[in-house]
Amino acid sequence: MLPDLLIASKSDEASKSMLDYILEKEKFTQSDSGKIMVHGDFMLAVFEERHLYLDNIEQFLNDNGMEAKGIIFLSRHSSKADIKSITVHPTGNFSGALLGGKPGTLTVSYPVAMSASLRYLKENFRGDNFEITFEATHHGPLLNKMNYYIEIGTTDKQWKDLEALEVVRGAIFDRDDREYDTFVGVGGGHYMPKITEYFLKNNINMGHMIPKYALDSITEDMILQAVEKTPGCKGFIMDKKGTKAQARDLLKKISDERNLEIISI
């Protein structure tokens, strides 16, 4: 089985904190290339620049003679409301590309691993007043490999919180990947609250997630892209009140044509 590649950024204080904690707890060794560390089913690479713009990761792997199953980004979470949180999310842009990637282009989501990480976070975190949740698909980098972000937000205090760091470590290294039916989430706010709640109560995996604010200009092609870049997609989990009528019509059309399921919540 191919290993997952962890990516840390020295330009991201939370990422540096997560990196230091992981290197303290997990025994990585340098690979022959000297640019990638290895430990069991994981590899680790550290970059100076922010992850959002690392469109060359696949070339980086090739140049170092390594292959990865998927990529996991260690990152800070930003919130205007300064909410304490630990989140996971897929990457890509439904419209513009203000934070890396390419406009109107999604990457390949990593449903089995991302879902397992969120389950672990929810089941094992005992810290105080952190929100544990999905986020909608957003930002770069542009990749062809399965990937997701795991983030701690939103201040230095949370980035160095030992309980948060330990549960993030566990959500990566001790996660329990399960081959459940996989869905694209549609509707609701950026943190996909109803879809996160439904996911945690049911044996499913989640791939790309399309929030309500992206539905104003969503096209059939973009919804199809979310399906096609969610490996093993069986259909949609739809926040009915958080999904506009035009988008519901598009989901119905696509589901009928592709024999996909719509679970309305």
Q: Coil, strand, or helix at residue 21?
A: helix
> Which tens digits make up the pLDDT trace of 47-88?
999 999 999 999 999 999 999 999 999 999 977 667 899 999
Contacts of 18 (CB under 8 A, 6+ apart): 8, 74, 152, 159, 165, 168, 169
> Which tens digits make up the pLDDT trace of 236-263?
999 999 999 999 999 999 999 999 999 9
pTM for the full model?
A: 0.97
Given a cut of 90, is residue 91 above it in pLDDT?
yes
**Which domains does the chain carry?**
1-177 (3.40.630.50), 179-265 (3.40.50.10700)
| CA gap 117, 173 in Å, rounded | 9
Q: Coil, strand, or helix at residue 151?
A: strand
